[in-house]
Amino acid sequence: MDLADILPEESVIFCTDVSTKREALEILADRAAARTAHSADAIFEALDGREALGSTELGNGIAIPHGKLPGLDGVTAVFVRLAKPIEFDAVDDQPVDILFALLAPLGSGADHLRALALVARLLRTESVVDELRSTKDPARLHQVLIQPLTTHKAA
């Protein structure tokens, strides 16, 4: 699986006006709805429902909200970098400014898990996170995210 296949440039956003976890999930849902046959409300419910089970925050200000929906053609991704970190019910009590949402079809256990592992590995790479936090340009954010991990500077 390649991130370029599931994360088109139009699904990468820099936001300046988000102040709550709910608003962040709504933005993720709105952008995902534009790429799927699902409503923003249905996507929000999937993401929020997963968050109700426990925060998808990984630490270091990073979260990977995710959920499953019937009828998706494959894994779909949306990335948001926030100008100002927000409270995200994080285990490490750190506010979140990097969100990488993943949506997968029901019954797509292996693909969903591969996508989660790929994104988690990428976002645990210090040089990647530093690059993401150093730009506000969605095109540059997209380029950083879709570069093969081997092209990033070693942490």
Q: What is the CATH number of the domain that holds 7?
A: 3.40.930.10
The pTM score is 0.93
Mean of per-residue pLDDT scores for the chain: 91
Q: Taking a C-beta distance cutoff of 8 angstroms, is the pair 13, 78 a contact?
A: yes
Give the residue, 22 or 149, on which the prediction is more confident: 22
In a domain, 154, yes or no: no
Write out the two tokens for 98: 């990097």
- Whether residue 82 lies inside any domain: the answer is yes
Per-residue pLDDT at 151: 56
Q: What is the b/e burial string over 4-20, where b = at least 16 CB atoms within 10 angstroms of the residue's CB?
A: eebbeeebbbebeebee
pLDDT value, residue 136: 96
Nearest residue to 4 (alpha-carbon basis) of 120, 118, 133, 127: 118
pLDDT at 25: 97
Average pLDDT estimate for 134-153: 84
Question: Is the pLDDT reported for residue 150 higher than 60?
Answer: no
Q: Which pLDDT does position 154 carry in this prediction?
A: 45
- Top pLDDT among 142 and 1 is at 142
Higher pLDDT, 99 or 113: 99
Say whether pLDDT at 18 is over 50. Answer: yes
Residue 153 forms part of a structural domain: no
E strands, the chain, are: 12-15, 57-59, 62-63, 66-69, 76-86, 96-105
Domain, as residue range, for 143: 3-147
Residue 66: active-site member: yes
- Which residue out of 38, 66, 112, 142 is catalytically annotated? 66
